[in-house]
Amino acid sequence: MTETTIDRDKLRDIYTRTMRVARADEKFRSLLMTGKLAVIYYTVRGQELVSAAAMAALEQDDYLVTTYRGQHDQIAKGVPLNPLFAEIAGKVGGTCRGKGGSMHITHPETGVMVTTGVVGSGLPIANGLALASQNRGDGKVTMVCFGDGATNIGAFHEAMNMAQLWKLPVIFLCQNNRYGEHTAFADHTKVDSIVTRARAYGMEGVKVDGNDAIAMYNMTKAAVDRARAGEGPTLIEAMCYRMMGHFFGADFSYMPPEHLAEMAAEDPLPRLRQLMLDHQFSEAELDAIVADLDAQMDAAAEFAANSPLPGPEEIRKDVFEEEIAA
Amino acid sequence: MTETTIDRDKLRDIYTRTMRVARADEKFRSLLMTGKLAVIYYTVRGQELVSAAAMAALEQDDYLVTTYRGQHDQIAKGVPLNPLFAEIAGKVGGTCRGKGGSMHITHPETGVMVTTGVVGSGLPIANGLALASQNRGDGKVTMVCFGDGATNIGAFHEAMNMAQLWKLPVIFLCQNNRYGEHTAFADHTKVDSIVTRARAYGMEGVKVDGNDAIAMYNMTKAAVDRARAGEGPTLIEAMCYRMMGHFFGADFSYMPPEHLAEMAAEDPLPRLRQLMLDHQFSEAELDAIVADLDAQMDAAAEFAANSPLPGPEEIRKDVFEEEIAA
Amino acid sequence: MSAQITMTQAINRAIDEAMAEDEGVILLGEDVAAKQGGGVFKISSGLTEKYGEKRIRATPISEQAIVGACVGAALAGFRPIAEIMLMNFVTVAMDQIVNHAAKLRFMSGGQTNVPLVIRTTTGVGVGFGGQHSDMLEAWFAHVAGLKIVTPSNAADAQGLMRAAIACNDPVIFIENILCYGLKSDDPGPGHIVPLGKAAVTREGSDCSIITYGRTVLDALEIAGKLSEEGISVEVIDLRTIAPYDEATVTASVQKTGRAVVLHEAVKQYGTGAEIASRLNEKLFGKLKAPVTRIGGAFSAVPMANALEQAWIPNKDAIADAVRSAVNWKG
Amino acid sequence: MSAQITMTQAINRAIDEAMAEDEGVILLGEDVAAKQGGGVFKISSGLTEKYGEKRIRATPISEQAIVGACVGAALAGFRPIAEIMLMNFVTVAMDQIVNHAAKLRFMSGGQTNVPLVIRTTTGVGVGFGGQHSDMLEAWFAHVAGLKIVTPSNAADAQGLMRAAIACNDPVIFIENILCYGLKSDDPGPGHIVPLGKAAVTREGSDCSIITYGRTVLDALEIAGKLSEEGISVEVIDLRTIAPYDEATVTASVQKTGRAVVLHEAVKQYGTGAEIASRLNEKLFGKLKAPVTRIGGAFSAVPMANALEQAWIPNKDAIADAVRSAVNWKG
Ligand SMILES: Cc1ncc(C[n+]2csc(CCOP(=O)(O)OP(=O)(O)O)c2C)c(N)n1
Ligand SMILES: Cc1ncc(C[n+]2csc(CCOP(=O)(O)OP(=O)(O)O)c2C)c(N)n1
Ligand SMILES: [Mg+2]
Ligand SMILES: [Mg+2]
């Protein structure tokens, strides 16, 4: 049985991770709005808590594979803010020296092994990371995040079947935000829940309200424990909302008004704050956490702004182990 | 509810189709054994009845998509023997002028639109044929045949989801012969039945003993009726055995002795003959059907032997609509 | 001043005209229907309203199923158009394109054919990074059975799209994101540009630049600049890579005696290699300078704008290649 | 007489040696384990018995998952080998190979790398028809970040496989079905052939044939025949297409002044185009005859034996190309 309570330190941890994601997202959006940044950015507004609670159930050296919409996952996993901001800004101080950008953040020290821009492609790769752990017996778990839309692509299917066949220590975290680009869930599949798919591979599958911090954390923790115990993979379908469209600035008039209203009512941030208050955290403590985070965001933005642009020689580096001749 | 009885004419039809497949398969094998034919041939021994009963539930102008292991499907669907034999022999009189070979038999007059050599690739194409019928309202049904191994590849997944989403008039006939090349069913997936997969798309799915002529026919007929009525696709998992290995002449020592014994006991041909006798067909009538078929096989082999080899100019034809310059 | 039309409008119009004429013309792709806003680049805007959701079908994210369904519908006599949102995503649909669409006519001995258009878009300079910017036309050109179209302007896009839809063989239709907003004089309804005919976009006598797609614009700009230096550049816009208009290209280079082949795709093993090889075969001993190839750098497309700009074929380098050819001393 | 070894045994031995040395070397593919008979071409015969089912993993028919799992394991520091049963099936795994394996080192700014070998086989002349015979090395050569190996003999296959497994970048290792039975003198254990070094397999002075894989045998046969006519042919076996050994190839053609580039893959837009273009660029004005390219016909590979034989690069045509080069008058 999955737990239904949570300890206070863990809750504080989840709150901090959530707000780190939220404040970073807000910072990115403000940099974009003011023209200080001019890149494509897939905002994570609405999905902060899902990743915060999920990553709080992992260890720092567990592996993570995520997507273009992955800043919440990366930040919650622990990627330091300075190189993250610089990477998004395309600077040398970025995690990937500016070569990857927001769609391809990589940071092995915090376990972030791949961020992919191709829908569904992360799942097979996650299996491989998990396979290495299985063979080594290093006890690591791999988590791979993807959207609801990704569950209709071939790679999802092949990876799910293989993971279960080999009982790999991998967790498939489907962040079901009800849309894939402009297409609503009911317009891309006829099943009600992605959990049905887990059954098609004999895999354990659970559906959870991704905005319920306690449930989200405990469900993930249970899956992590199973994986570490060698009992195989789990699919978690975390229900959430994509509150600001597909990418920042994109029109989302195709969303019906009922959906927009429902979405607004389900904002995870006020709900989490209420949960914290219910758990006897003081307003002052919560505000202090946010204030500290905001200072970190300002520092990261500053770091990124001051980091130099990569020079053209970078194009010849990292294509192969040996540098390409000029 | 699916019917559990069958009318005598339909039964005779199924018997004739089954034996046409069986006698052709035997003929191919004898041509190969005597060196009169030197090609790769994926024998259909053991799966004759599955296709015979399935195709008996279709009309001639319904579409069929099948695979390299498809001679049973093609013959049961009605592809004439002379050009079929000539195609396998690589002759100009073949269905495809020798360009396709046994893995790529095409014969639009009998609805055989594609025979593919790439596992799983037929399913998306079948959807497109069905989509054309749906838009035209021509009442045609498309059937696509594939193996158990094919259900683990991405194309299967994408096609199943799309077919159900659009309620396409398509039937997915999985001929579960318990092996994909050298890999046993239990070594390629952790589910007991492929029907579980249908549920993952909200699709109707049924499992049937493919060697039970009445059940196989009635199940298929029910699926055909549903598709024609616009009620959408069905997955049929027809259980059968691949009695002579992956391709003719291939070693199949990897099959465990229990499996070989079970397989021998489940031979569809004696079982069907018994069913016919139970339905008051006389030995003489059954033998006469076979004798007539054997004469057709000899004629077809003769036709193929006498058909000329294609000339090198064929390489420049049918690449594009316009012939390529020499 | 005559009316203007953008490339987006031009492609939309061509599809619209073809759909009005033939019920068999359908469009499948992610987000293409009205409910989703008519496609992420708005190419199918307004078409669902006219032709309905049975003909403009928004699909799940399932590129194999998209292309496969179009192959099947084409076999049944339809003229489907598949939209692959960005060219890099063809990597999940190569089996359907290469093993099926391209080969079914041949493998069936001509009994079936696949009148299918696969529309896709790409382009470097948009800041989309390593997995969303590749130009992969050379892959398709290596496959017998495919035709490949790469318009450089709105009017051609319209006319080539009509020809592509009318074609009885599969066509890969490559749009460049940065060209969608480009305007041409409105060619009017019913405009058709036949496949396989290159355009001599600017005449010249000293050197030919052979190119296609967005880099045609660069070539024209450079030709303008070089004319001030007294160098007369001929610009050939291939318009279709396959069929390749060998007659036009060879004649141009025969005249100028010098050639620079230019594309946005990675230079190594790109279409420029084939074109340069053919020129060398046809005009051996007649060329006044070696044929130069210019293409993207040999790396993934970097995301940082500074690097992306360094990756793209550089206008100065193109101009220098022309100058070197003209001044070639051996 | 020294001991002989077939290419099948050679590849098996190289993998065996690498597995014995490093726990991170694993093999994934359809039917590769002992339970399935050690692979359809028996390359992994005996390995499961030695290294167990955790390292020799028979997979479902799921090429994206096979390559993807190998990419992931490689990121974690393993040195996986993925077997793609036949080369045409790479078409369902191109995303993992091209968008991921090839690019992750670059896109991560060098933080990660993908030491992965993708083994596959193919070949024309086996009677496998249109969807099982393609040679697609030109596609991979167009992608930055991949290395490409194509052994022509057993000893090289062994040595190149060791080098490929040791390589810290992804390698596409292309075997030819018709070469599996070829025998070489046993090079002994631990044999390594470095990537990026072509072999001058036969020296000559009149014309170079530049080739790789199975057609090296054709080239040697033709060189032998032509020597009887007094034509001295140099045969270069590239061994690796990428990295391309430009120094060796250019030096050879500089010496002979003439070149025929030969491969089994379709000629148009094949690797021969790149090689010919480079030769023309490097040796402009120094060539005694145009560089000729010879490759497979521009169609799907036909199944009928009569047609398949007509499709393959023809030995007479190759010999004629050399004769024309030698007799070139302009
Ligand atoms: C194979 C592939 N096809 C199409 C796209 C274009 N695309 C990018 S994001 C996206 C929607 C994905 O939806 P979902 O998986 O629900 O993730 P979300 O964006 O909602 O987080 C699409 C279609 C892509 N990146 N890759
Ligand atoms: C994409 C792909 N991968 C691998 C193969 C090689 N292959 C040919 S048949 C086969 C087994 C297919 O098994 P199944 O689907 O059960 O069909 P069966 O042969 O049993 O009828 C395999 C792996 C292929 N043709 N296509
Ligand atoms: Mg989504
Ligand atoms: Mg099977």
Task: List Cβ neighbours of D82 (8 Å cut-off, separation of 6 or more).
Answer: D27, D28, D29, D66, D67, D69, D70, D116, D117, D118, D119
Closest CA to C295 of C269, C265, C321: C265
Antiparallel, parallel or unpaired: β D27-29 and D4-6: unpaired
What residues of C act catalytically? 63, 132
Size of interface B-D (CB pairs under 8 A): 125
Q: Per-residue pLDDT tens for B12-23? A: 999 999 999 999
Q: In whole angstroms, give the CA distance from residue A135 to residue A166.
A: 11
**Ligand 4 geometric centre to CA of D38 (Å):** 18
Q: Choose, out of D25, D95, D116, the residue to mutate when testing the contact with A (most A CBs < 10 Å).
A: D95
Tell me how far apart the terminal alpha carbons of chain D are, to the nearest angstrom: 49
Mean predicted lDDT score pLDDT of chain A: 97
pLDDT grade, residue C1 (50/70/90)? low
* Cβ neighbours of D57 in A, within 8 Å: 166
Residue A252 has pLDDT above 90, yes or no: no
Residue A101's pLDDT is: 97
Residue A1's pLDDT is: 56
Q: What is the 3-state secondary structure (H, E, C) of B157-178?
A: HHHHHHHHHCCCCEEEEEEECC
Task: List Cβ neighbours of C29 (8 Å cut-off, separation of 6 or more).
Answer: C39, C44, C57, C58, C59, C66, C82, C83, C84, C85, C119
* Cβ neighbours of D92 in C, within 8 Å: 64, 92, 94-95
* A124 preceded by a cis bond (ω within 30 of 0): no
Q: Which residues 84-103 of chain D have a CB within 8 Å of chain C?
A: 88-92, 94-95, 98-99, 102-103
Cβ neighbour number for residue D16 with a 10 Å cutoff: 19
Q: Per-residue pLDDT tens for C273-290? A: 999 999 999 999 999 999
Q: Per-residue pLDDT tens for A59-83? A: 999 999 999 999 999 999 999 999 9
**Ligand 4 geometric centre to CA of A161 (Å):** 17
Closest CA to C97 of D83, B70, D131: D131
Residue B206 has pLDDT above 60, yes or no: yes
- pTM score, whole prediction: 0.98
Residue A4's pLDDT is: 83
Residue A121's pLDDT is: 98
Q: In whole angstroms, give the CA distance from residue D12 to residue D49.
A: 13
Q: Choose, out of D78, D108, D113, the residue to mutate when testing the contact with A (most A CBs < 10 Å).
A: D108
The predicted complex's ipTM stands at: 0.98
Q: Which ligand 1 atom lies nearest to the CA of residue A120?
A: 1
CA distance A230 to chain D (A): 14
Closest CA to D225 of D318, D146, D149: D318
pLDDT grade, residue A251 (50/70/90)? confident
Low-confidence ranges of chain D (pLDDT < 50): none
Which SS3 state, helix, strand or coil, does residue D241 take? strand
Of C69, C95, C106, the CB nearest to B121: C95
Q: Are B64 and B143 in contact (CB under 8 A)?
A: yes
Residue B1's pLDDT is: 56
* Cβ neighbours of C289 in D, within 8 Å: 284
Which SS3 state, helix, strand or coil, does residue A244 take? coil
Q: Indicate the range of B5-9, B149-153, B250-254, C247-251 predicted with least confidence.
A: B250-254
Q: State mean pLDDT over B220-244.
A: 98
Q: Per-residue pLDDT tens for A288-305? A: 999 999 999 999 999 999
- Does C107 contact chain B (CB < 8 Å)? yes
Which SS3 state, helix, strand or coil, does residue A180 take? strand
Residue C77 has pLDDT above 60, yes or no: yes
Beta-carbon-side half-sphere exposure of residue D56 (alpha carbons within 13 Å): 27
Pairwise CB contact (< 8 Å): B200 & A202: no
* Cβ neighbours of A39 in C, within 8 Å: 127, 303
Q: In whole angstroms, give the CA distance from residue A10 to residue A180.
A: 32
Apex CA D73: angle with CA D67 and CA D76, to 5°? 145
Q: State mean pLDDT over A232-239.
A: 98
Tell whether ligand 1 has an atom less than 6 A from the beta carbon of residue C61: yes
Apex CA D313: angle with CA B247 and CA B316, to 5°? 85
| DSSP label at residue A193 | -
Residue A290 burial class via C-beta count within 10 angstroms: exposed 0-12, middle 13-18, buried 19 and up: middle
Name the residue of D85, D87, D96 to mutate for ligand 2: max ligand atoms within 8 A of Cβ: D85
Convert C47-68 to b/e letters by CB count within 10 Å (16 or more is b): bbeebeeebbbbbbbbbbbbbb
Cα–Cα distance list, C33 to B80, B197, C111, D228 (Å): 43, 29, 33, 69
Nearest ligand to the CA of B153 is 2
Q: State mean pLDDT over A81-99.
A: 98
CA distance B99 to chain C (A): 5
CA distance C204 to chain A (A): 32
